[in-house]
Each structure stands twice: as C-alpha cells, then as structure tokens.
A = this chain, B = another copy of it.
Amino acid sequence: MTAASITQATLALGDREGEKAMSMRRIAAELGCDPMAIYRHFPNREALLDAVADSVVAEVPAPGGGGPWDERIRVVLTGMRAVALRHPGIAGHIASRPPLGPCGRRVAGELFVALAEAGLAPGDVVRAFQALIAYAAAGLRMAVDAGVQDRRWQQVSAAMEGLPGEALPVVGSAEQFDYGLRLLLSGIRLEGERAAG
C-alpha cells in the first residue's frame, strides 16, 4: 500500500468503469483495504485525483527540440488531449483542473519556452499560456461530454439558418479541436510579430 499503488488502482478503475467508479469506497474495495487507509496517503479525494491526473500527464509526448514553436505547441496540446481521452475516467478531472504536479509543470514549461520563442513579452507569455490551457481544457471537456451533448449541440447548429446540416464538424472531435487551436496560434503569431517588428 503506497501512494503509487493507490494511484495506479484508481486509474485502472476509472479506465474500466468511468468517473463515478472512482469513489473512495470503490477504490478501497479494489485494493482490498478499508476506505480510511487511503487517507493515510492522501488528505482527501481531490488530492488523490490530482495525483492520478498527473500520472496520466506523464504520458504526454515531449516535442523534439528543433521544430518551430507553433508546431511544438500543437504537438503538446493535441498529445495532452489524446492521452487524457485514453483514460476516460480521469479525463473530466484533467479538463476541469489542469494538472499541476511535476508532469504538468514539465508540459507547462514546454509551452512557456515555445511562447517566448514566438516573440511575446513576458507578461503576454503568461496570458497566452493561460488562454491555451483554458482552450485545451475546454476542448477536452467537449470530447468527454460528446456522447451526452452531441445531439444538443447539433440541435443548436442545425437551428441556424443557411448552414448545411450534413457538413457539420463533430463536436469535440480532434478536427474541431485543431481548428480552434490554429486560430489561437494565428493570433499569437500576429502578436509576436507585432511585438518584435
């Protein structure tokens, strides 16, 4: 019974049975221990889920050092989305509380470096970073909820006149995510050029 074994069991349970299965009682049952035994390694459920989230973020690929800054940001953020969706149980948690453990900080560091390379002023690096993380979290949430929300979203889109109902991009899809990410990166590129020139 270590913090790592609890984290691992929680992740496995979430992968298998979803978000709601990761309750203190169910996790304890999975480990064959008393629910209270978990509190010896984590102060509360939130802290445990943070640890699980960070363990998932560890899988996010590191972009090669050489490429252009915008491509590196795309690799990191689409990687984060893909990795989170491979673990459906914890994906919702990652989407609502961007993980800030050691692995989360590594990813954050990569984004900071790339944004500085884009030519942004230090304060704007932080602002753009937060905007990117916010967008990534929201894109992930849309993907997580897609099963539930798709029909509702399609309703809204279809209700708008003059739009071909059949050509609509799927809500929460990788393509949709990438489109918005490219919009943000265009805005950042422009801002960096403005600051530099």
Contact = CB atoms under 8 A, between A and B. Distances in A.
Say what secondary structure dominates the interface of chain A: helix
Interface in A95-133: 96-97, 100, 104-105, 108-109, 112, 116, 122-131
Given A100-B152, A100-B155, A122-B162, A141 B130 contact: no
A27 to B, nearest CB: 22
A182 to B, nearest CB: 7
Interface residues of A, number: 54
Given A122-B163, A123-B164, 7 more contacts: A108-B156, A112-B160, A122-B162, A127-B180, A135-B138, A138-B138, A186-B190
A23 interface: no
A134 B135 contact: yes
A142 to B, nearest CB: 6
Interface of A: 96-97, 100, 104-105, 108-109, 112, 116, 122-131, 134-135, 137-139, 141-142, 145, 149, 152-153, 155-157, 159-160, 162-164, 167-169, 171, 176, 179-180, 182-188, 190-191
Contacts of A167: 122-123
Contacts of A156: 100, 104-105, 108
Nearest to A142: B134
A140 B93 CA distance: 16
A127 B176 contact: yes
A183 B131 contact: yes
22 contacts: A100-B153, A100-B155, A104-B156, A105-B159, A122-B162, A123-B167, A126-B157, A126-B163, A126-B169, A127-B176, A127-B179, A128-B179, A130-B171, A130-B176, A134-B135, A135-B138, A137-B138, A137-B141, A183-B191, A185-B187, A186-B186, A186-B191
